[in-house]
């Protein structure tokens, strides 16, 4: 049973941001900076899932669909049409948002909720994967390669740290959005929809419209994540950006960290990146980190359904037990 | 297009569809009785297929023969999984159990990745390349064998559910949980049995699929969507629906590949799934609401 | 304020509500009573837009609301509670009520302040920070009431708000309801608890097998032999349970 956690004071937010800013200077090695980028990246795409799944209760199993839409939109523009890659950022947001609108409109019109909604998002992601795998403009199964030309104007940073601070900005924006949701009328209505759609409707909330709005926002964020990913790794293909793995990761970091909380995805992401990097260094067995993570998901749902944030707050006695 | 190609595609689709029916029947049984959507269905099948693979490699057991081991083994695994994990949450929120089975599928898939590595594996047996002739048409023998065994098992399963005492208890619980409890049926045991049977069908399906397909840690994904599509198309909890749905999905896959090519052809299944959920969520034979 | 004309609702072959008509004048408390299974909650659901209407019409504030979505009707000022309470379980009492208040105020501060006021009005001022899931049945009923009240409704549809309450709780909630009416809110309620019905309402409608069989001031209605027969005719088993 969740009790309302005390809101973190503004000093808390600033402190966390400050720590994140200092991080790459305290740990400047390429390994650590990469860890930082990955952790923040997962935090960002996790937050994209979280605002729809955690805040509004619209769990999706195919959230990668927004990610992939953004990744392909910005990459195609860049690679096929020579458009400046920074334009890709807003374009990917629009692409993700559009897909969010489409899926939301169709699914919510049909009254899909809960598990059915989760599954249909999976089907949409799979459908887009197949399309991306089959048409020329996306490079089909071979994917798209972005030529490496490191320069800020080209949305590629010669120093990894550049990417770190970019993703930090994005994460900060996503956290700001989450904080806004926690305090706004919109957010309260989403919480009501999450808890009990029919009761929300009976109070005058236009459930369809609110769900659609949050899915569009969630999609836009997911799309931006796709754009960032493309610029960081310089290669995308249907499996990477429309495959199930990213969907799972977006869901996992939020659920384990704490769905519906502001910092849940960040906590989950740091943990995932840590487990992933540690596993890779220590044993190099592929799949180990996700076994741990999957097991964690089960444990969390079983014993700590409000996520690790709940545990942290209980331990630091932020609120009475 | 040549009519033989069309007929060949149709019949091949039906042959594979029969196996899909078997896979889906387990899923629909689990849903019908426990009202849970078993997201781990695909990865459990994948594990089963690895089991068949290793039984062949290590013990030189023909996959069809190893059904005698696989089916009871998978039944036991399913039973234990229910008792140890799933059962604790099957009365909670719908989404929680979905997430638990998702977690299970993640664990299984990545365990497979850890132990078996990412490569795909196929098996060859003496009769792998044998063809069956039907007029001008040729069919792979393993495919034909698998189809008939799948249909036989579905029929047996249907008979078991209809006639046996346990089967009647299962139907009672599926229909009216509280009432069944009141009449003295050990509902929790029936849940475990049902989940066990659901997983056991995967053991059988694994044996039928290995001779004609491949396995890798990722095949779970492939089959999850297929299984869900069959069940949603046929109607959640409907056995007849699983049969009809399986055949339709098999046909769709086959024709999709024929007309749209190998890559785009796969889209038929996701499309069916989406369209059914949007326009007729109860499927062909399911109950409304 | 509310005029229901010949409302008919069928489920397949069953006519759940059969040409029911009723009027709720502004500022009054009107009660809808009847044996279990008579179709009372179905009628409510039709009026508030949760179920489609097969025949007939509903006029609220002189406009037809037939076929309008639930949330629109709620925003017009007709809000209902549920027979089985539907709290926002993981939210606090305060936030639950604030969701309602957000229909009236756009800003968090004002909405929460108004919610606080409403909470105190219904006697929940001391348990604002409790999660709704942990409340007793009586408190949940009050929360439901508070939440709908916070939307500043013109007409409140209360569905068996006293079910499951003990006599003390019933008299407490009767006072709360009287208070609400005193503020100018019109009320239409479904109720089984006769003392409450007699004490609160000024006019009764009796529903049996989907038809309005009697109406009038409470004192007259309870003496009406048709009404008595509708209730007693169901015998010792009490008829279908759980449906209204």
The distance of A269 to chain C (nearest Cα, Å) reads 25
Distances from the Cα of A157 to the Cαs of A17, A127, A225, A228, in angstroms?
22, 33, 17, 12
Q: What is the average per-residue pLDDT within B35-59?
A: 92
Inter-chain CB proximity A248 and B106 less than 8 Å: yes
Which of B89, B117, B274 is facing A120, going by the closest CB pair? B274
* Residues of A (167-206) whose Cβ lies below 8 Å from C: 183-185, 188-189, 191-192, 195-196, 198-206
* C-beta atoms of A124 and B88 within 8 A: no
Whether B104 contacts chain A with CB within 8 A: yes
A109 lies within 8 A of chain C by CB: no
What is the pLDDT at residue A4? Answer: 47
A262: distance to nearest CA of chain B, Å?
Answer: 21
Residue among B106, B263, B273 whose CB faces A297 most closely: B106
The set of long-range contacts for A78-86, using a CB threshold of 8 Å and a minimum separation of 24, is A78/A146, A79/A144, A79/A145, A79/A146, A79/A147, A80/A137, A84/A153, A84/A154, A84/A155, A85/A146, A85/A154, A85/A155, A85/A156, A85/A231, A86/A153, A86/A155
Q: Is residue C239 part of a domain?
A: no
CATH number at residue C119: 3.40.50.300
pLDDT at A1 over 50: no
Using a CB-CB distance cutoff of 8 angstroms, which residues of chain B are in contact with residue A63?
A: none
**Cα separation values, C192 from A175, C20, C164, C197, C231, Å:** 50, 19, 11, 8, 11
A125 neighbors A64 (Cβ within 8 angstroms): yes
- Average pLDDT for B155-167: 90
* Alpha-carbon span C241 to B194, nearest angstrom: 32
Is A128 inside any structural domain? yes
The chain-wide mean pLDDT, for chain B, equals 88
Q: Is C219 exposed, middle or buried (0-12, 13-18, 19+ CB in 10 A)?
A: exposed
Of B43-52, B82-91, B110-119, B222-231, which gets the smallest average pLDDT? Answer: B82-91
Say whether A294 and B110 touch across the interface (CB within 8 A). Answer: yes
Please list the residues that pair with C63 across neighbouring strands: C60
Q: Which of B87, B46, B99, B73 is nearest to B218 (CA)?
A: B46
Strand bridging mode C211-216 / C63-64: unpaired
What's the CA gap between C41 and C47, in Å, rounded? 10
Residues of A in contact with B260 (CB under 8 A): 134
Burial of C152 (0-12, 13-18, 19+ CB in 10 A): middle
In this predicted structure, the answer to whether residue A258 has a pLDDT above a threshold of 90 is yes
Domain count of the fold of chain C: 1
Residue-level pLDDT at C238: 45
Q: Residue B281's pLDDT is what?
A: 87
Which residue does chain A place closest to C104, by CA atoms?
A204
Model confidence pLDDT, tens digit, residues C13-65 = 888 888 889 999 998 999 998 888 788 889 999 999 999 999 899 999 989 99
DSSP state of C92: B
Residue B209: how many CA atoms within 13 Å on its side-chain side? 31
A25: CB partners within 8 A, 6+ apart? none
> Which pTM does this prediction carry?
0.90
| Segment (H or E) for C94 | helix C93-101
Number of structural domains chain B divides into: 1
CA proximity to A129, closest of A86, A69, A57, A215? A69
In Å, the largest CA–CA distance within chain B is 61
Does the residue A54 lie in any domain? yes
pLDDT of res. B87: 83
Flag if B278 and A120 touch (Cβ within 8 Å): yes
> Residue B107 carries which DSSP code?
H
* Predicted confidence (pLDDT) per residue in A201-215, tens digit: 999 999 999 999 999
Q: How far apart (Å, rounded) are the C-alpha atoms in residues C124 and C122?
A: 6
Calculate Rg over the CA atoms of chain B: 19
Q: What is the ipTM of this complex?
A: 0.90
Other beta carbons within 10 angstroms of residue A256's beta carbon come to: 27
Residue of B nearest to A123 (CA): B270
Q: Three-state SS for C197?
A: helix
Q: What would the mean pLDDT of A64-82 be, rounded to a whole number?
A: 94
Angle at B109 between CA B49 and CA A234, to 5 degrees: 125
Contact residues, chain A, for C74 at CB < 8 Å: 201-204
Give the range among B34-43, B136-145, B150-159, C52-61 with minimum mean pLDDT.
B136-145
Per-residue pLDDT at A167? 95
CB of C90 closer than 8 Å to CB of A196: no
Of the candidates C191, C212, C211, the one whose C-alpha atom is nearest the C-alpha of residue C33 is C191
What is the DSSP code (8-state) at residue B209?
H
Which of A188, A196, A202 faces C102 most closely, judged by CB atoms?
Answer: A188
pLDDT of residue C237: 40
Subunit contact C99:A1, Cβ cutoff 8 A: no
Q: Look at residue A273 and tell me if it is in a domain.
A: no
- Residue A318, pLDDT score: 54
Across B4-22, average pLDDT: 90
| Closest to B229 measured CA to CA, from B47, B15, B42, B8 | B42
Minimal Cα–Cα distance from A135 to chain B, Å?
A: 9
- Minimal-distance CA residue of chain C relative to A187: C99
Tell me how far apart the alpha carbons of residues B242 and B148 are, in angstroms, rounded to a whole number.
16
**Neighbouring C-alpha atoms within 13 Å toward the C-beta of A147:** 7
Contact list in A for residue B217 (CB cut-off 8 A) is: 287
Q: What is the pLDDT of residues C154-209, one digit of tens each?
A: 999 999 988 888 888 888 888 889 989 999 999 999 988 887 888 888 999 998 88
CB neighbourhood size of B204 (10 A)? 27
**Residue C109: which residues within 8 A CB-CB, separation 6 or more?**
none
CA-based torsion, B217, B220, B223, B225: positive or negative:
negative
Query: Which structural domain, as residue segments, surrounds residue A74?
Result: 30-242
Categorize the per-residue pLDDT at B80 as very low, low, confident or very high, splitting at 50, 70 and 90: very high
Tokens of B75: 């039944």
- To the nearest whole angstrom, how far is the Cα of A176 from the nearest Cα of chain C? 17
C41-54 confidence digits (pLDDT tens): 899 999 999 999 99
- Cβ contacts (< 8 Å) between C111 and chain A: which residues? 185, 188
Q: Is residue C167 in some structural domain?
A: yes
- Segment A273-285 mean pLDDT: 86
A59 touching B (Cβ < 8 Å): yes
Candidates C71, C87, C151; nearest CB to A206: C71
Alpha-helical segments (H) within A184-235: 185-195, 197-202, 207-233
A 10 A CB-CB count for C23 gives 15
Residue C100 lies in a domain: yes
Give the pairing of strands A235-236 and A144-145.
antiparallel
CA B165 – CA B257 distance, rounded (Å): 44
**By the 8 A CB rule, do A266 and A257 touch?**
yes
Residue B5: band (very low, low, confident or very high) from pLDDT cuts 50, 70, 90: confident
> Which residue does chain C place closest to A188, by CA atoms?
C99
In a domain, C31, yes or no: yes
Is C241 inside any structural domain? Answer: no
Is residue A22 a contact partner of residue A14, using CB atoms and an 8 Å limit?
no
pLDDT band, residue A8 (cuts 50/70/90): low
Domain membership of residue C59 (yes or no) is yes
Which of chain B's residues have a Cβ under 8 Å away from the Cβ of A295?
103, 107
The average confidence (pLDDT) of chain A is: 90
C-alpha C52/C-alpha C58 separation (Å) is: 11
Number of domains in chain A: 1
Tokens of C71: 């949330």
Residue C221: inside a domain, yes or no?
A: yes
Phi and psi angles of residue A289, each rounded to the nearest 5 degrees, phi first: -65, -35
Is B289 inside a domain boundary? Answer: no
Asked whether the beta carbons of residue A185 and residue C108 sit closer than 8 angstroms, the reply is yes
Calculate the CA dihedral of residues C31, C37, C39, C42 and round it to 10 degrees. 100
- Counts of helices then strands in chain C (DSSP H, E): 9, 10
Other C-beta atoms lying within 10 Å of the C-beta of residue A68: 31
Provide CB contacts within 8 A for A45, sequence distance 6+.
A63, A67, A221, A222, A225, A246, A249, A250
Q: Which chain A residue has its CA at the smallest distance from B35's CA? A: A115
Task: In whole angstroms, give the CA distance from residue B258 to residue A228.
Answer: 38
Bridge partners of residue B132, in order along the sequence: B139
Residue A319 has pLDDT above 60, yes or no: no
Spell out the alpha helix ranges (H) of B60-164.
67-84, 94-116, 141-163
C152 φ/ψ sector (left φ>0, alpha ψ -120 to 50, else beta): left
| pLDDT at A159 (0 to 100) | 83
C97 inside domain = yes
CATH number, domain with residue B225: 1.10.3470
Across the interface, whether the CB atoms of A295 and B107 are under 8 A apart is answered: yes
Displacement of CA B161 from its chain's centroid (Å) = 17
Q: What is the distance in angstroms between the Cα of C29 and the nearest Cα belonging to chain A?
A: 21
Under 8 Å between Cβ of C202 and C48: no
Quick check: A80 pLDDT over 60? yes
Q: How far is CA A243 from CA A126, A133, A236, in A?
A: 7, 11, 11
State the average pLDDT over residues A82-99: 94
Is A307 among the domain residues? no
Contact A130 B225 (CB under 8 A): no
Write out the residue range of the structural domain in which residue B107 sits.
3-279
Residue B288, pLDDT > 60, answer no
A110: how many CB neighbours lie within 10 A of its CB?
17
- Name the nearest CA neighbour of A94 among A111, A69, A76, A115: A69
Instruction: Judge contact between B206 and B33, C-beta under 8 A.
Output: no
Q: How far apart are CA A232 and CA C73, in angstroms?
A: 50
Q: At what angle do helices B67-84 and B41-59 cross, to 10 degrees?
A: 140
CB of B89 closer than 8 Å to CB of A302: yes
Check CB contact under 8 Å for C86 and A206. no
């Amino acid at each position: 049973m969740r009790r309302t956690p005390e809101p973190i004071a503004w000093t808390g937010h600033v402190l966390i941001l400050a720590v994140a800013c200092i991080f790459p200077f305290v740990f400047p090695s390429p390994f650590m900076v990469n860890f930082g980028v990955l952790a923040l990246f997962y935090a960002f795409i996790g937050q994209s899932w979280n605002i729809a799944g955690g805040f509004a209760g619209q769990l999706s199993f195919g959230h990668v669909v927004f990610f992939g839409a953004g990744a392909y939109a910005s990459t195609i523009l860049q690679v096929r049409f020579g458009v400046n890659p920074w334009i890709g950022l807003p374009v990917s947001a629009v692409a993700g948002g559009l897909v969010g609108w489409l899926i939301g409109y169709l699914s919510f019109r049909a009254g899909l909720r809960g598990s059915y909604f989760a599954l249909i998002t999976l089907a949409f992601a799979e459908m887009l994967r197949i399309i991306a795998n089959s048409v020329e403009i996306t490079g089909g199964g071979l994917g798209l390669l972005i030529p490496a030309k490191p320069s800020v104007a080209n949305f590629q940073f010669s120093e990894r740290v550049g990417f770190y601070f970019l993703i930090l900005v994005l994460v900060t924006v996503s956290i700001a959005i989450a904080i806004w949701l926690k305090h706004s009328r919109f957010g309260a209505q989403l919480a009501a929809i999450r808890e009990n759609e029919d009761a929300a409707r009976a109070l005058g909330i236009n459930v369809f419209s609110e769900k659609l709005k949050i899915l569009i926002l969630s999609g836009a964020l997911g799309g931006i994540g796709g754009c960032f990913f493309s610029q960081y790794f310089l290669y995308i293909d249907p499996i990477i950006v429309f495959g199930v793995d990213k969907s799972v990761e977006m869901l996992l970091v939020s659920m384990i960290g704490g769905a519906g909380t502001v910092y849940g995805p960040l906590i989950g992401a740091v943990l995932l990146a840590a487990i992933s990097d540690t596993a890779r260094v220590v044993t190099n067995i592929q799949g180990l980190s996700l076994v741990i993570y999957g097991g964690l998901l089960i444990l969390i749902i079983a014993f700590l359904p409000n996520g690790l944030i709940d545990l942290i707050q209980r331990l630091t006695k932020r609120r009475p037990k | 297009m040549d009519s033989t190609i069309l007929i060949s595609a149709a019949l091949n689709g039906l042959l594979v569809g029969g196996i899909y029916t078997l896979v889906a029947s387990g899923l629909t049984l689990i849903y019908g009785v426990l009202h849970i959507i078993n997201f781990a269905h695909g990865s459990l099948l994948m594990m089963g297929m690895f089991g068949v693979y290793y039984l062949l490699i290590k013990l030189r057991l023909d996959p069809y023969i190893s059904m005698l081991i696989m089916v009871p083994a998978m039944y036991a695994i399913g039973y234990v999984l229910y008792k140890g994990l799933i059962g604790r949450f099957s009365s909670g929120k719908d989404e929680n159990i979905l997430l638990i089975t998702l977690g299970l599928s993640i664990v299984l898939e990545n365990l497979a990745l850890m132990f078996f590595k990412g490569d795909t594996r196929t098996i060859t047996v003496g009769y792998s390349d044998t063809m069956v002739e039907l007029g001008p048409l040729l069919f792979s023998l393993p495919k034909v064998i698998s189809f008939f065994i799948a249909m036989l098992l579905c029929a047996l399963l249907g008979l078991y559910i209809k006639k046996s005492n346990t089967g009647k208890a299962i139907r009672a619980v599926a229909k009216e949980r509280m009432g069944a409890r009141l009449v003295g049926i050990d509902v929790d045991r029936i849940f475990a049995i049902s989940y066990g049977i659901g997983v056991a069908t995967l053991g059988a399906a694994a044996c039928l699929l290995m001779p004609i397909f491949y396995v890798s840690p990722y095949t779970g994904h492939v089959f999850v969507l297929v299984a869900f599509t069959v069940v949603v198309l046929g109607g959640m909890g409907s056995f007849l629906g699983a049969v009809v749905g399986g055949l339709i999905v098999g046909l769709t896959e086959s024709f999709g590949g024929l007309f749209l090519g190998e890559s785009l052809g796969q889209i038929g299944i996701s499309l069916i799934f989406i369209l059914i959920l949007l326009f007729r969520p109860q499927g062909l034979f399911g109950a409304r609401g | 304020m509310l005029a229901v004309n010949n409302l008919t609702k069928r489920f397949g072959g069953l006519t759940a509500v059969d040409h029911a008509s009723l009027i709720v004048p502004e500022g009054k408390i009107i009660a809808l009573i009847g044996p279990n299974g008579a179709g009372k909650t179905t009628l409510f659901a039709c009026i508030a837009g949760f179920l489609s209407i097969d025949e007939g019409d509903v006029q609220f504030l002189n406009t037809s609301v037939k076929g309008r979505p639930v949330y629109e009707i709620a925003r017009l000022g007709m809000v209902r509670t549920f027979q089985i309470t539907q709290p926002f379980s993981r939210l606090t009492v305060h936030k639950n009520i604030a969701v309602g208040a957000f229909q009236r105020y756009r800003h968090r501060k004002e909405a929460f302040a108004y919610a606080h006021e409403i909470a105190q009005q219904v006697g929940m001022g001391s348990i604002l920070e409790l999660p709704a899931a942990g409340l007793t049945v009586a408190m949940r009923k009050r929360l439901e009431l508070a939440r709908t009240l916070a939307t500043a409704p013109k007409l409140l549809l209360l569905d068996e708000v006293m079910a499951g309450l003990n006599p003390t709780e019933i008299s407490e909630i009767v006072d709360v309801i009287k208070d609400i009416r005193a503020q100018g809110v019109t009320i239409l309620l479904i109720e089984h608890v006769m003392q409450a019905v007699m004490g609160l309402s000024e006019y009764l409608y009796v529903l049996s097998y989907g038809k309005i069989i009697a109406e009038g001031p409470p004192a007259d209605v309870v003496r009406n032999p048709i009404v008595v027969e509708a209730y007693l005719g169901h015998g010792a088993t009490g008829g279908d349970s759980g449906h209204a």
